Structure 1
Amino acid sequence: MTPHADIIDLAQRLIRCPSRAGIDDYGPVLGVLVDWLAERELPYRRLCGDQGAVVGLLIQITGSRPGPWWALDACVDTAPYGDEAAWTFPPDCGEVVDGWLRGRGAADSKLAAAMFCGIAAELHGRAGDLHGGLAVLLDVDEHTGGFGGARAYLADAEAVRPAGVMIGYPGLDEVVVGGRGLWRATIAVHAAAGHSGSRATTPGAVSRAAHLVRLLEEAELPDSDGEFPLPPKLTVTSCHGGQGFSVVPDLCELGVDVRTTPGFDAVDAERLVRGAVGELDVRVPVPRPTLITPVAAWPPYRLAGDQQPAAALLEAASREGLTVRPKTAGPSNIGNLLAGEGIPATAGFGVRYAGLHGVDERACLADLPAVHAVYRRAVLGLLGSSSPSSPSPGSP
């Protein structure tokens, strides 16, 4: 079996093991990976989270010469299926039709996981040529937003801390070299409870929350500052309060998501939200003040064009004849988590795709040889191999 056929076969088997975050048992999909790695005698171990559950597998290929370690990362848990009746094929079919690999996780990111396993298998056989080492993280706690696999990897005393990470999200035209950060909070808006038919005119918690939503959405945010290409953004993402029709609600909870930039960071985001809350409590006072509970904060990041591993990936793409541009993403990703740890990361270069997190997810296999060659070249260059440009056996 050629390397690309082996990669596709592994990806198909992974897709046929449903691994929806928070829904499916991850044991079967991890079992597929463990069997594949064991057959090739690749060194790996299980990573466990705070509660003791397995949150990922870590492959480690140790070179025979001193040097920094680098990491490849791909998740093997997935988004949910959504409305299965809207799919034109079973979400776990793993079929190849007209050159497209079909099924949930084909694009995000089981094909990338299989490809990274293939690169690890090749490098295991030539470790004597390598400086430093290569880690491959196969995460099953990514789509939860907890990023348990990445956190367990960084906390693992036996793992060498990587000098940089390349995350295998899909997309052929861009290497994601940065992303906006985030600051998230829940806001508990209070009021006095009562009967909706009473003579009292005190606004309920839902009405006060609606007023706060207006204050938040009307707040002025700065434009992009030129050095960072995207501006900050505030979104009220949830609103929960009240029950039935006869009660004036005494509590309404809002969810607020602020995407941050170097010029408008988490401190600025919290200050803005607290200012709006303070204005609400002055304009529409009630005995109990509005309560803000911060939930998460990640820093924005952006790698310079000559910073590794972005430079290696961009150069490798160019050498393979691809026109690829660096991109700063609007959504946050594991790269933000790594940036907070001082580890530079790319967060996207892969095959073309359709239906990611939606209906009829699929990945374009015609792109696999080029994408595989780019990652392989980049990794071998970073590890100081004497022959980074030599083709893999069986490569076209």
Structure 2
Amino acid sequence: MSENLVEPARNRVASVIDLAQRLVRVPSRGGLDPYGPVLNVLEEWLFGHGLPHKRLMSPEGNLVGLVVEIAGGAPGAWWALDACVDTAPFGDESAWTFSPTSGEVRDGWLLGRGAADSKLAAAMFCHIAADVRAQAGQLAGGLAVLLDVDEHTGSFGGARAYLADPGIPVPAGVMIGYPGLDEVVVGGRGLWRARVSVPGASGHSGSSRRTTGAISRAACLIQSLDNAVMAPAAPGDPFPLPPKISVTACHGGEGFSVVPDLCVLNVDVRLTPSFGEDEAGLLVHDLIAALDRDLPGPRPTDVEVVAAWPPFQLQPGQEPAAALFRAAKETGLDPHAKTAGPSNIGNLLASHGNIAVTAGFGVPYEGLHGLDERAHLAELPKVYAVYHQAVVDLLSPV
């Protein structure tokens, strides 16, 4: 890799870490903490470095992100870097060996919730935006840096506001700064989620009359869902993961003396190209129809679909993944392509006009979403240089 990119990356590390430390020290748990304070830290840095940016607002008028826009000197495609700055909850704080909002650097690790996912990436992308702005006149198209919140709630308010803003160019591709040095995530299973309301006969638990309550009916349905046979992938299918169905919540009844008349299940189905929304819906409805036929309730079981995203997978050589692989190779890194089992914000982006998405390449990490989250900093200069080189490559005039 050319020295004019490696040296700035090395020289940038101290400033990147300083900004990341400030972000980690501001609690921003999705759905629990206000997002304004952590976004204010970023906005202050962007103002101080003269980077053009705008606030992103939800339909309800809440601040859900910032977007930096760097236009090149010639027409061309826009590309985006994305890092969320809200985080998972802390969990049992007494079990941590350091404060979840530590922000300390110890033995080469940045410590605290969000260090890995994804405040270090947010700090890095802000600096890359500053570097790209300095050479924007020689580039084509443009770079957007999305700094979003409301991601860990699963609502993806920041990304949705970004996509909905008519004043922001739709990117040809997005690189999301999730951590992990060994992989570039180029795909993910989709999802189909439904809330299933299972009715039953209510009554006193001590009654001499036998009743089939909602929980008993729901238990039968759960067993059927757990035993459901998912269609295997066809021979030669390039998508490496099978579909999967899970019951993730069960709510019904209270106390001891009343047999409940309603039990509500959350059903999560992970989708593949050969097993999509239609197949998931048909499978769940068929199992429910069998329940209502074989163990009738007082009324039909109801299904409310609450989310549906398709799977995504970039093709070999497709940008922006190809640019990341080229840049990584020049630094001596050799990450492999991975299609992830969990869905992520890449599914949302990919479903919006087929935006090409990578959803992970970054520094090594530990404790993501768990105890003692931390990000390893020794590899940060190379990761920085890879993303910088990839962006410059994508924005270079043909």
TM-score, scaled relative to structure 2? 0.96
Q: Deviations over 1:54-97 (max 9, x none)?
A: 10000000101111000000000000100000000011010000
| Residue-by-residue CA offset, 1:270-319 (whole Å, 9 max, x unaligned) | 10000000000001112211000001000001001111111111111111
1:126 aligns with 2:138: no
For structure 2, list consecutive stretches of 5 or more residues without a partner in the other structure. Answer: 1-9
Aligned to 2:337: 326
Mapping of residues 296-311 of structure 1, within 5 Å: 296-311=307-322
The equivalent residue for 1:150 is: 159
Secondary structure of the equivalent of 2:238? coil
Match of 1:349 in 2: 361
Of 170, 191, 204, which residue of structure 2 is paired with 1:182? 191
Structure 1 CA distance, aligned partners of 2:297 and 2:42? 57
Q: Which residue of 2 aligns with 1:285?
A: 296
Q: Which amino acid aligns with 2:389?
A: R
User: Match for residue 211 of structure 2?
Assistant: 202
Q: Give the gaps of 5 or more residues in structure 1.
A: 387-396
1:246 equivalent among 257, 270, 275? 257
For 1:204-219, what aligned pairs fall within 5 Å after superposition? Answer: 204-219=213-228
Paired residue type of 2:378:
A
AA aligned to 1:221 is: M
Q: CA deviation at 1:123?
A: 1.0
* 2:4 corresponding residue in structure 1: none
Which of 60, 63, 74 is the aligned partner of 1:54?
Answer: 63
Q: What CA distance in whole angstroms lies between the structure 2 residues aligned with 1:201 and 1:132? A: 71
Cα deviations by residue, 1:127-156 (Å, 9 ceiling, x for unpaired) = 111100000000011111111111111111
Distance in 2 of aligned mates of 1:319 and 1:201: 72
Deviation for aligned residue 1:385: 6.4
Distance 2:216 2:117 in 1: 40
Structure 2 counterpart of 1:393: none
2:102 to 75, 93, 110: 93
- TM-score by length of structure 1 reads 0.96
* Cα distance between partner residues in 2 of 1:254 and 1:144: 19
RMSD: 1.1
Q: Is 1:68 paired with 2:77?
A: yes
Cα separation, 2, equivalents of 1:223 and 1:312: 33
**Which of 232, 235, 252 is equivalent to 2:246?**
235
Structure 1 match to 2:3: none
Give me the whole-angstrom Cα distance separating, in 1, the residues matched to 2:98 and 2:299.
Answer: 53
Q: Give the one of 376, 384, 387 matched to 1:364.
A: 376
Q: CA deviation at 1:265?
A: 0.3
Return the alpha-carbon distance in structure 1 between the equivalents of residues 222 and 19 of structure 2.
48
- Determine the C-alpha separation between the residues in 2 that align with 1:318 and 1:201: 69
Q: How far does the alpha carbon of each residue in 1:2-46 deviate from its partner, in whole angstroms, 9 at most, with x for none?
A: 311110000000001110111111111111101100111000010
Deviations 1:330-365 (A, max 9, x none): 000111001111101000000000000000000000
1:390 match: none
Match runs of 1:6-17 below 5 Å: 6-17=15-26
Q: Which amino acid aligns with 2:217?
A: R
Percent same amino acid among aligned pairs? 63
Verify the 8 A CA contact 2:80 2:173 in the aligned structure 1: yes
Q: Deviations over 1:215-261 (max 9, x none)?
A: 11111102233321000000000001011111111000000000000
Q: Structure 1: how far apart are the matches of 2:233 and 2:30?
A: 34
The 3-state SS of whatever aligns with 1:165 is strand
